[in-house]
Structure 1
Amino acid sequence: MPGLMLLDTPSLYYRAFYGIPESMTAPDGMPVNAVRGVIDMIAMLIRRYSPGEMAACMDADWRPAFRVAAIPTYKAHRVVEGGAEETPDTLAPQVPVLERVLDAVGIARVGVPGYEADDVMGTLTARASGPVDVVTGDRDLFQLVDDTRPVRVLYTARGVKNLQAIDEATVTEKYGVPGRAYADFATLRGDPSDGLPGVPGVGDKTAAALITAYGSLEALLRAVDGDGPPPGSPEGGAAVLTAGRRAKLSAAREYLRIAPGVVRVARDAPVPGIDLALPSEPRDPRALAALGERYGLRSPLERLTSAL
């Protein structure tokens, strides 16, 4: 059955921007490499996966206040003067053009004040009654993977033409943690790219061993507090929760109290109820034709229209 496809739009336009030369320009010389790239990505996704619904999820707030209040270093290294996100000068003007294209095509574009695109995807995934594909280059969204529904990530790290379908078995094979425990694993390990410190002295292997032994961060912290071995573990996790690791986790207890609220994507963001059905033809053909002419996008828009 055709399902819902969620596009991590910022991830896609950054990938397109850095993957396609800026020599790809509009008639007036404005670079449109990111716009062209995303249009062709969407056309390819539609042809290959035939989703019944699609949403282009946006960052209405790339650094939400609730995450910064919890961990002030969250994405702090990307902030420029005025509190805006550091964005290449030739990419920033392309984002509004892409938004106009999405609107003219009729692909739902969804952002919520105070939340990131990740939170929109988490909420729409939680609401979905059928299968969901999340298209992203962000490993943080592996936490949404759920074979029982099913929800999978189409991971763009190798390029959109070489998408890797991430299910729970893939997460376990790659990181050594149960498929839906990725957020707990990431909390322990940290993520310098997002300004999340993690627990000092706890890397990938240790984080994976701890989460695998205890099943969840909550159970691990109960064991740190001396509330007993992990349920079902014949060795009681003693070989994993050594005295040294217990000390490291205890020292990072305040971080571990607040970090899950930062690392875990929201499942209950106030996303408005909108029609996510993928159209079979452009919503506004005249506006789309004008955009194609103005920005030199006729060929990629023809490919997208054909895919619809």
Structure 2
Amino acid sequence: MLVDGMALLFRAYFASASSGYIRRTKAGVPTNAIYGFVRYFWDAVQTFDPSHVVCCWDLGGTTFRAQEYSAYKGNRSEAPEDLIPQFSLIRDVIESFGIPNVSYQGFEADDCIGTLATQISQEMNVTILTGDHDLLQLVSPTTSVIIMKKGQGNYKVYTPESLYEERQLHPRQIIDMKALMGDASDNYPGVRGIGEKTAIKLIQEYESIEGILENLDQLSSSVRTKIENDLDMLHLSRRLAEIHCKVPVECAVDGCQLEIDNVLISSKFEELEMKSLCQLIGVEAV
């Protein structure tokens, strides 16, 4: 199981912060996102029973996408102040589980996940735990994407078959769909005036961006004009949408087998004053 650490951590933070209460240690260190992360993560482990686990993270600093398009994710606000110290603490918690933390400067967690999925799926089946539908482009006969839906324990598992059944798209076509419609969350526009419905219809009919461009004369004058006016942004948006699967990261399968060390985990929970999680994980509190 490849875990999208950022997706789980942000989900856990906002799920609890929305109530107005932020869990803290006696010293005032916020831990609400960590507490929620562990609950989400452990529910997924119990549900899908992975033999091996890796957790992937974004790093601070500029990514190759922001270098190519300066407005990339430029619409996002700063992380909440109470969440910032939890970025490093959660990695310590993951280490206490014996799980490798993987990241690489200049790339996003998605790219690390895509790279490791490509590598590891040669040896065993891979599941990706996330809330991010962008990762559906990584679905393959040996890689499933588990989308966390609203509410703990509520999942949608995508295989090539279920993805096609739901959207009538193949995994790689997700990239071209996003190239056409853009992504408001990541702040790139795609082709102005083309939304999801039209993008999906075009990809279903012409299979790819190349297929669409080869058949521009078959399109309505309105759609053709929109594409012709935004050709450069169309190609740029596709580069931004595509997950980079050749990040220089490696993770030996032998090094990510999920083996719980009671002492390490209970000590970490004790340090963060969340001993109640020991019972959840099934370890004895120190």
> Corresponding residue for 2:176?
184
CA deviation after TM superposition for structure 1 residue 55, in Å: 0.7
CA–CA distance in structure 2, aligned partners of residues 12 and 276 of structure 1: 22
* Partner amino acid, structure 2, of 1:30: V
- Count of residue pairs brought into register by the alignment: 277
Q: How does 1:25-104 map to 2 (within 5 A)?
A: 25-61=24-60, 63-64=62-63, 66-78=64-76, 86-104=78-96
> Corresponding residue for 2:111?
119
**Contact 1:154/1:166 (8 A) holds in 2:** yes
* Partner amino acid, structure 2, of 1:295: L
Change (3 A) 1:63 1:138: farther
Q: Higher relative contact order at CA 8 Å, sep ≥6: structure 1 or structure 2? A: 1
Instruction: Return the match for 1:15 from 3, 11, 16.
Output: 11
Matched residues, percent identical? Answer: 29
* Partner amino acid, structure 2, of 1:43: W
Q: How does 1:140-159 map to 2 (within 5 A)?
A: 140-146=134-140, 148-149=141-142, 151-159=143-151
CA deviation after TM superposition for structure 1 residue 23, in Å: 3.9
CA–CA distance in structure 1, aligned partners of residues 5 and 227 of structure 2: 36
Question: Are positions 1:133 and 2:127 aligned together?
Answer: yes
CA–CA distance in structure 2, aligned partners of residues 276 and 223 of structure 1: 49
**Contact 1:142/1:153 (8 A) holds in 2:** yes
Structure 1 residues 24-77: Cα deviation after superposition (integer angstroms, max 9, x where no partner): 32233332111011112222122111111111101024751x212322211012
* Partner amino acid, structure 2, of 1:293: E
> Corresponding residue for 1:83?
none
* Partner amino acid, structure 2, of 1:250: E
* Partner amino acid, structure 2, of 1:94: Q
CA–CA distance in structure 2, aligned partners of residues 30 and 248 of structure 1: 51
**Contact 2:55/2:101 (8 A) holds in 1:** yes
Change (3 A) 1:27 1:290: farther
Secondary structure of the residue that 2:54 maps to in structure 1? strand
With the length of structure 2 as denominator, give the TM-score of the two structures.
0.89
Change (3 A) 1:141 1:104: same
- For structure 1, the residue ranges without an aligned partner over 5 or more in a row are 80-85, 227-237
**Contact 2:182/2:237 (8 A) holds in 1:** no
- Give the stretch that moved more between structures: 165-174 or 246-255: 165-174
CA deviation after TM superposition for structure 1 residue 291, in Å: 2.4
Structure 1 residues 153-179: Cα deviation after superposition (integer angstroms, max 9, x where no partner): 111132331111123344334444334
Change (3 A) 1:125 1:266: same
* RMSD over aligned Cα atoms: 2.0
> Corresponding residue for 1:235?
none
Secondary structure of the residue that 1:135 maps to in structure 2? strand
CA deviation after TM superposition for structure 1 residue 287, in Å: 4.7
CA deviation after TM superposition for structure 1 residue 293, in Å: 1.9
CA–CA distance in structure 2, aligned partners of residues 288 and 152 of structure 1: 28
Question: Are positions 1:277 and 2:256 aligned together?
Answer: yes
* Partner amino acid, structure 1, of 2:131: G
Question: Are positions 1:205 and 2:197 aligned together?
Answer: yes
**Contact 2:139/2:158 (8 A) holds in 1:** yes
With the length of structure 1 as denominator, give the TM-score of the two structures.
0.83
> Corresponding residue for 1:229?
none
Question: Are positions 1:251 and 2:229 aligned together?
Answer: yes
CA deviation after TM superposition for structure 1 residue 273, in Å: 3.5
**Contact 1:8/1:118 (8 A) holds in 2:** yes
- Give the stretch that moved more between structures: 45-54 or 292-301: 292-301
Secondary structure of the residue that 1:259 maps to in structure 2? helix
Question: Are positions 1:264 and 2:258 aligned together?
Answer: no
CA–CA distance in structure 2, aligned partners of residues 116 and 52 of structure 1: 25
Structure 1 residues 104-159: Cα deviation after superposition (integer angstroms, max 9, x where no partner): 2211110011110000011011112222111111111111112x22x221111323
Secondary structure of the residue that 1:24 maps to in structure 2? coil
CA–CA distance in structure 2, aligned partners of residues 276 and 255 of structure 1: 42
**Contact 2:189/2:237 (8 A) holds in 1:** no
> Corresponding residue for 2:160?
168
* Partner amino acid, structure 2, of 1:41: Y
